[in-house]
Amino acid sequence: MLTPVQNEEQTARVSGRRLAPFALCGIVTFALIPITGETNVDWVEVLLAFALTVSLGIAALLAPQLTGGRFAGIAALTALVAIALLRDGTGGARGGYGVVVIVPVLWVALYGSRRQLWQVLVVVTLVLAVPLVVLGVPDYPSTGWRSMPLLVLSCALVGFVVQELLARERAIGERLQAAHSELQRLAETDPLTSLPNRRALEAAHVREIAAAQRSGRPLTLALIDLDRFKDYNDAHGHPAGDALLRAVSIEWSQRIRTTDMLARWGGEEFCLLLPGTDTAGAQLLIDGLRACVPARQTFSAGVIAWRPGTTGEQLIAGADEALYRAKRDGRDRTVVALGAAPEARRARRAHDAPAPAATS
């Protein structure tokens, strides 16, 4: 996550890149006046236009929010006022600066709305047409009535095409983002039970351990294993075993808090991550889960509380060791670990291994 200073620096860089081509256009526009040796120049109007342009550029750098979004139209209208002054101050239509009206149109097309674009096009029409009516010849000859509509139409074409292309790009980006989110969800979801899978659980316990480290609140993890699941599969068939896993997932999901996480760890084994819960609270919750297992099935559970300095792998290993003890001591019970095991020790008996069809 970016710090406020970093975020401000990034915003300034983005604003600078956005402004650069428009600033270059402004520099070239005003530089052409002395370079081309203009003699019939009203420097008051030209300097006013220059001051407006510089002020707009400074505002875009120091406060980018004032030149984009709902303010993009205001920025464009300010630029059009500067262009009107520049055009009149350099001899009117003969100066050739009327074509610069396309610059604020392009700005609004890129950073404004469709409504703002229409408003700017109306003002562009007024900037080009009003001098023809009010001032007329010699600075604004009647030939302007031919060039004016062509220039306005060209501005409209550029503006609407740019906005259409941007709209398509945004739509494609949104679809890609949605597809990425869906792939991420599928990658972290067990296809049989629709619970979070092992990958999602491992990412979650890293976050929760960090949160427990910061806040000091308790964190408990439990591994739950359905007893003699292979025997159940052999007696009822693998579809029935899959149905049992789905039923257990639904029942248990309805009995945990929204802050808790129930995940399918693998085969007939589930994992519970319980932020803000100690081992006594975890045992009470597991007793409630035990009462709602369908088909008179039982389960064994290993519970462990997180302690400062314990890694996620050690936490899982400690719960796994407690689960193994529950299995060894007769099943259908919960065993609380005294601490995290240094290494994972998987020592399941052969008849406790998950059936191939049920581990989908």
By annotation, the residues acting in catalysis are 268
Count how many Cα atoms sit within 13 Å of the Cα of residue 289 in the half-sphere of its side chain. 32
Token look-up 């290494």 returns: 343
Q: Looking only at Cα atoms, what is the longest distance across the chain? A: 106
Residues contacting residue 16 through CB under 8 Å, at least 6 positions apart: 61
End-to-end CA distance of the chain: 37
Pairing of strands 299-305, 334-336: parallel
User: Which residue, 349, 328, 331, 352, is CA-closest to 230?
Assistant: 352
Q: What angle do CA 3, 310, 352 make, to 5 degrees?
A: 125
**CB neighbourhood size of 297 (10 A):** 17
Phi, psi of 288 (to 5 degrees): -65, -35
Q: Amino acid letter at 17?
A: R
Q: What angle do CA 275, 278, 281 make, to 5 degrees?
A: 100
Token look-up 């302007």 returns: 144
Residue 105 and residue 156: Cα distance in Å, rounded? 8
